Amino acid sequence: MRAQSLKLEEHGGVADIVVLMPQTDIQQLGCRQRRLVERYQIRLIEVPWTIPPKSWYPSYWWPGKADGWCGPQDLMRLHALGLDEYDAVVFYDQDVEFQGDMTPVLHCAARGYFISASGGVGEPFNVGFFALRPSKKLLRAAEIFGANVNFSIETGWGDCGFLPSGSKFVGAECGQGFFHTLFYKDCKAVKRALVEAGLQDIKGKARLPLQSVMADRCIWNYQNDGDCGNHLFNCSVIRVHHKPTHKPENDRLCGKLKYHRGGWTGEPQPPFPPPPPLKVRKGKEACVPSCVELGNNCICNAPMPPPHHIKNVTVDGRPVHCQEQVRSPSNDFFAVKITGASQITIRRLDAESCWCDDVTIECCMA
């Protein structure tokens, strides 16, 4: 999950790139992912839950189930509501591409607005983008709301309905319905959650500390539909492009920057600033942190020997020290040892068997 945030200053602002992840996913980050986090100074925040505690979930799903319901990947975004060390936070899906300046959204959100946009398949709220001035009380209100309501395909979350949609819409049972209800519905379940979270006026009346508004999705969250006008629509007005991610099927759709055919008139900016140089670890011998590819050992049907669970790899350079244990993407478990001036031995520990995933480790190279 990716969020951008802004600390406003007198002349401009400072933005952080924030990634929200549960502990189990952080533990599975490989060398390359951790190196990117370090290089681009990404703030990685561990979150305690992916759905609010005691929240409703459908009967065909259960906590820990990897798929089947979009709730965890959607509702984990609620943690962005509580990042109140920032003046403003904007959340974007990972397939979003900036095609212009998006900072006006942050500045507007910092003034006290909750900003979102509708979706490309008729849903009144698209969970791939929202912005707000965060508050821990807002996050607490979301937790209280989730713990005290159910979802129904007839009446939505907390019996608050689906309007302006006439019936259940795409993602209504997940984050799109939950967010839309919490920020755009004036119903009993929402008011009760706001009051219990301490969001009320001097008369004790429930009060959302933000004004909820909708931005033009054709500019701020462009999606895969033809509702943004006919072939005369100017793709250069798009600030934030969400979908399509593939090459557009017709001239009525605007694509990612790499698919533009003269429609883009601005100069696209690189997604990140140039990375700072890697820090050199000093010890008995100076070395540079590096990701080292050990590859796979997918020789499962070859006759023995050699043992299929051990592989010797000759690497470029000389490793001073390497991580001693690593897991593959398939969760195979390995021990790693430097066995020569430029040789590393990897041994599978969970089974005396081959492996077909490429394994990457972190070493400090002389």
- Structural domain boundaries of the chain? 2-259, 288-365
What is the reported pLDDT for 254? Answer: 87
Q: What is the pLDDT of residue 287?
A: 86
The most distant pair of C-alpha atoms in the chain lies apart, rounded to whole Å, by 80
CA-nearest of 330, 332, 363 to 347 is 332
Band (pLDDT 50/70/90 cuts) for residue 2 is: low
Is pLDDT of 9 > 70? no
Residue 13 predicted with pLDDT over 80:
no
- pLDDT for res 152: 97
pLDDT of 10 reads 42
Residues 23-66 pLDDT 10s = 988 888 888 888 888 888 899 999 999 999 999 999 999 998 88
At CA 119, angle to CA 45 and CA 224, rounded to 5?
Answer: 100
CATH code reported for the domain at 2-259 = 3.90.550
Q: Are strands 325-327 and 333-340 parallel, antiparallel or unpaired?
A: antiparallel
pLDDT at 272: 47
Residues 6+ apart with CB under 8 A from 42: 17, 18, 19, 36
Residue 347 has pLDDT above 70, yes or no: yes
Q: Radius of gyration of the chain from Cα atoms?
A: 25
Q: What is the pLDDT of residue 263?
A: 47
Neighbours of 274 (CB within 10 A): 8
Give strand ranges (E) for 133-278: 151-152, 156-157, 211-214, 240-241
- Percent of the chain surpassing pLDDT 90: 62
pLDDT band for position 227 (50/70/90)? confident
Confidence of residue 140 (pLDDT cuts 50, 70, 90): very high
pLDDT of residue 15: 84
DSSP state string for 32-60: HHHHHHHHTT-EEEEES-SS-TT----TT
**How far apart (Å, rounded) are the C-alpha atoms in residues 28 and 301?**
29
Does position 291 have pLDDT exceeding 70, yes or no? yes
pTM: 0.79
Return the H-helix or E-strand segment holding 9: strand 2-9
Average pLDDT of span 305-317: 87
